[in-house]
Amino acid sequence: MHTLAYETPTPEQMKQAMAKAQGKLLIVDFDETLWLRNSTESFLAHARPAPLAAAILRGLDLTRPWRIIGGRRRARDYRDWIRVLAIATLMPWTLRRWARIAPKLGRTFSNTGLEQLMTASNPARTVIVSNGYTVIIAPLLEGYPEPRPQLVAASLMSGWKWRRAGKLANTEAVFDALLLDGATVVTDHEDDAELLARVGNGLLCVWPEARYERAFAKCDT
For every one of its 221 residues, what pLDDT tens digit does the chain have, with 9 covering 90 and above?
345 668 999 999 999 999 999 999 999 999 999 999 999 999 999 999 999 999 999 999 999 999 999 998 889 999 999 999 999 999 999 999 999 999 999 999 999 999 999 999 999 999 999 999 999 999 999 999 899 999 999 999 999 999 999 999 999 999 999 999 999 999 999 999 999 999 999 999 999 999 999 999 876 54
Residues whose CB falls within 8 Å of the CB of residue 189, separated by 6 or more in sequence, listed in order: 29, 32, 33, 204
Same structural domain for residues 180 and 75? no
CA–CA separation, 121 and 115 (whole Å): 10
* Dihedral (CA of 118, 115, 136, 195) sign: positive
Same structural domain for residues 138 and 172? yes
Residue 95 burial (CB count, 10 A): 17
Asked whether residue 2 is domain-assigned, the answer is no
Angle between helices 134-141 and 93-108 (to 10 degrees): 50
Q: What is the pTM of this model?
A: 0.94
Q: In total, how many domains does the chain have?
A: 2
Asked whether residue 164 is domain-assigned, the answer is yes
Residues whose CB falls within 8 Å of the CB of residue 134, separated by 6 or more in sequence, listed in order: 151, 153, 154, 155, 156
Same structural domain for residues 154 and 67? no
Residues whose CB falls within 8 Å of the CB of residue 151, separated by 6 or more in sequence, listed in order: 127, 128, 130, 134, 137, 138, 141
SS3 state at 59: helix
DSSP classification of residue 15: H
The pLDDT of residue 59: 98
Tell me the residue range of the domain where 113 lies. 11-38+103-204
Residue 72 burial (CB count, 10 A): 9
| DSSP H or E stretch at residue 147 | none
Same structural domain for residues 93 and 191? no
CA 216 to centroid of chain Cα atoms: 20
Same structural domain for residues 135 and 169? yes
Asked whether residue 212 is domain-assigned, the answer is no
Asked whether residue 5 is domain-assigned, the answer is no
* Dihedral (CA of 150, 198, 192, 114) sign: negative
C-beta separation of 188 from 32 below 8 A: yes
The pLDDT of residue 219: 67
The pLDDT of residue 155: 97
CA–CA separation, 33 and 165 (whole Å): 22
Same structural domain for residues 92 and 192? no
